[in-house]
Each structure stands twice: as C-alpha cells, then as structure tokens.
Amino acid sequence: MKILVFTSLFPNHLNPDFGVFIKNRMMSVARLKECEIVVIAPVPYCPPWKILGRWYQFSQVKKHETISGIDVYHPRYLLIPKVSMRYHGLAMYISSIGLLKKIRKKFSFDIIDAHYIYPDGYAGVRLGHKFHVPVVVSARGSDINDFPRFRTIKPLIQHTLSLANHVISVCNALKDTMVGLGCSSKKIKVIPNGIDSNRFYMLSRKKARKDLKLKNDRKIILSVGALIPRKGHHLTIEAMHELIQAMPEAHLYIAGRGEYEETLKKLVLEKELSECISFLGHVPNEELLKWYSAADVFCLASSMEGWANVIMESMACGTPVVATNVWGAPEIITNDEVGILIDRNVDSISRGLMDALKRDWDRDLIVEHVSKRTWDIVAEEVKDVFESVLDDYNHL
C-alpha cells in the first residue's frame, strides 16, 4: 500500500517538533508490512527577506528533505495572514498538483491521508478527485472545535467531510461535533493518539530534579503548551496566586512560546509571582522526559483540545494530571487515580492543584494507564481503515 500523507503540520529541519504527533503516527504506519509513505507538507510562500520577522523562516525550509528515511516535500502556497483563510485550501491544492504529478511517476500512491480538516483536508479531497484515489482525512482539534465558527470556513469543512471517503477523529467529542456538521457517523473512526514509550517513561523524580538543577523541597507544577490564550496559562498563573497562600513551596514551570508570552510575563509581575513562576521557553520534545518526571503534577487549563498529547506524555512518566474537563481530556483521565478533571476557572484550577499536590499518587498505576496505547497499536488501527477504504473504493 502506497500512502501519500498530505499535511502542513509536519516537522521539518528548522522545526523538528512541529506536528510530531502526525509524524509519530505515520512513521509507525510506514514500519508496517507492505506500507510505504511519502509526505507532502506545504508551507506558505515567503520571500527571503529577514525584515519579515517570523515569516522569514518559511523561506528557509527546504523544498525536499529526508526525515527518518521518508521523503518529505514542501511545496509553497500563497498565504496572506488574517485575510485569505477561505482560500488556503484552494491555494494548497493548486500549489501541489504539479509536484504530485511528478511524484506519482515514481510513487504511484493508492490513497491520500490528509491531516487537519481545513485547509489540508480540503486540498486533500480535491487532489484525491483529480488523481482518482480515495482520501482519508483526520480531525485534530481546532479544525473542528474552532474553525466552524467562521462563516466562510464552515461550508468548506462540511464540503471536505462530505467528500472524504473516511474520517479519523482523535476523540469521541470531535466525532460528535462532526456528526453535528452533517458527517455520517458511519464513516468516522475514532483513533486516539498513542505514546512513544521509548521517549516518555518514568524516571526517578530525585534524579530528574538533580539533572535539571531543581530543588527537592519544592512542589513543582509543570504546564507545557503554546503561549496563546486558548491554552489557559493566564488562569493557571492566577490560580498560583491563590495556591501559594496555602502552599508557599509550590512553583510553576511553563514550557512553550507564543504571541501571549509578554502578556503572561506582565501578569506574573502584576501578581508578584516572579519567585514562584518560571518560563522555560521552548523545550525540545526529547528533553520533556526529565521535566515531566521532575514535576509533582502536570496542569493543562486549555479551553479546547482534540487529544492532548501532553496529558499522555505526563502520565507515561508517572506524573498525575490536572486538566480542564473539555473535549478529549475526560477520555484520557477516566478515573481519579490518574488525574483530576476541573472546570476552567481560577478557583477550580487552584483547588485541583492543591488536591493533587496533597495526594500520594501511585506513579506505576498512572504509567500503566497509558503505556499500552503505543503508536504501533495506533498504526495498526489506521492501516485497517486504509485497507477498508481501498477495498470499498476498488469495488465501486
């Protein structure tokens, strides 16, 4: 089976952690018997002018690279920030046609696997129609729980869902939302993300703290995620203002970067929390193991998540999780032996963290809760979907 993976959410040589969950899933599929993949990961066109700031990096992405033995191509598509969103899918489609014609001469793909319903999935289903192959699209999170609120984007999402041969959702909550958008539940398969047990496993908390030069007498809270409003770091910071009144030894470490960084740092200063909150910046995926293991508790105060990989990663390291009761979180934190579900407000977050820091958790039990959900298991489930789709398509 030859699979063409189409997604803008894929790592590249400049950003090796970008969309790593898609890489993990599809690299695991590629390791299965009789499965081959090639990746098309479009990037916005940008002139090589440093004056363009953060957009400049797109001009530096190679047009072709090899990642873990897999060919990854980066065609350019036209993107005008905050203006052309309704045309992004069409732009991806047009920019990829010529490249796919060339690729198909040496890699005659049987199926297109597109990740992110819009714009990637929209481009994917149009490419599938043009090249006469079936298309499976995967819903990830904000593509379904956020984008449909845009009047011009919602019809494009519905169009994608209707034309796709099959849809994969990372959680039941996303599936229900897609059904509400008019997609038949019969063509949606829920396949949650997995965990890389070679990268995330339980370390001694004492050793992890020693390696990171952290104090053993602190109650450490860790939060990992982009510094954007949706992730709720501002709520966790305000919760810390309440928490340290009763537990002055508590310390919050926030890993991530984003547009909200300066706002969050100002909030820390306003609340006079500089002594108990630290910003780590970007922490490479391979270094998160020590941070998860060093923490007493992990906190995620997001307003929406499809399937939060950080919850799985934290649990794989034996660290309990306090997370908002939204979307996929309750499908991971299924009992109070592995974590605590909270409402998305300061008081609830503060109480949840306090309860978690006072409890004596069974770290082995937490690890066991997620350890069997490996990427290899996920890959087998994805392959089953592809084979079923191909069988139905070939019998039309």
Give the separation between CA 41 and CA 112, rounded to whole angstroms: 13
Give the separation between CA 55 and CA 86, rounded to whole angstroms: 20
Contact present, 317 and 205 (Cβ < 8 Å):
no
> What one-character DSSP code corresponds to residue 342?
E
pLDDT at 8: 95
pLDDT at 70: 95
The mean pLDDT values, 10 residues at a time, for the chain of 396 residues are 96 91 95 96 90 86 95 93 84 97 97 97 98 96 84 94 97 94 96 94 95 95 95 97 94 95 96 96 93 98 90 97 94 96 97 97 96 95 98 87
pTM, whole model, 2 decimals?
0.91
pLDDT at 178: 96
Give the separation between CA 181 and CA 175, rounded to whole angstroms: 10
Residue 123, domain member (yes or no): yes
Residue 103, domain member (yes or no): yes
pLDDT at 306: 83
pLDDT at 56: 86
pLDDT at 285: 87
Question: Do 26 and 132 fall into the same domain?
Answer: yes
Residue 225, domain member (yes or no): yes
Residue 199, domain member (yes or no): no
Residue 200, domain member (yes or no): no
pLDDT at 79: 84
Residue 305, domain member (yes or no): yes
Question: Do 21 and 169 fall into the same domain?
Answer: yes
The helix/strand/coil state of 253 is: strand
Question: Do 211 and 335 fall into the same domain?
Answer: yes
Question: Do 239 and 142 fall into the same domain?
Answer: no
pLDDT at 394: 87
Question: Do 356 and 388 fall into the same domain?
Answer: no
The helix/strand/coil state of 107 is: coil
Contact present, 240 and 273 (Cβ < 8 Å):
yes
pLDDT at 54: 81
Distance of CA 136 to the CA centre of its chain: 18
Question: Do 159 and 263 fall into the same domain?
Answer: no
pLDDT at 392: 93
**DSSP annotation string for 171-222:** SHHHHHHHHHTT--GGGEEE----B-TTTS----HHHHHHHHT--TTSEEEE
For 68, other C-beta atoms within 10 Å of its C-beta total 10
Residue 58, domain member (yes or no): yes
Question: Do 349 and 379 fall into the same domain?
Answer: no
pLDDT at 38: 98
pLDDT at 267: 97
Question: Do 214 and 344 fall into the same domain?
Answer: yes
Give the separation between CA 383 and CA 110, rounded to whole angstroms: 13
Give the tokens for residue 340.
Answer: 């605590």
Question: Do 123 and 249 fall into the same domain?
Answer: no
Give the separation between CA 25 and CA 193, rounded to whole angstroms: 8
- As for how many domains the chain has, the answer is 2
Residue 264 lies in domain:
205-371
Question: Do 58 and 151 fall into the same domain?
Answer: yes
| CATH number of residue 268's parent domain | 3.40.50.2000
Residue 168, domain member (yes or no): yes
pLDDT at 42: 97
Question: Do 180 and 228 fall into the same domain?
Answer: no
Q: Closest Cα partner for 8 from 159, 143, 171?
A: 143
Give the separation between CA 345 and CA 249, rounded to whole angstroms: 22
Question: Do 130 and 268 fall into the same domain?
Answer: no
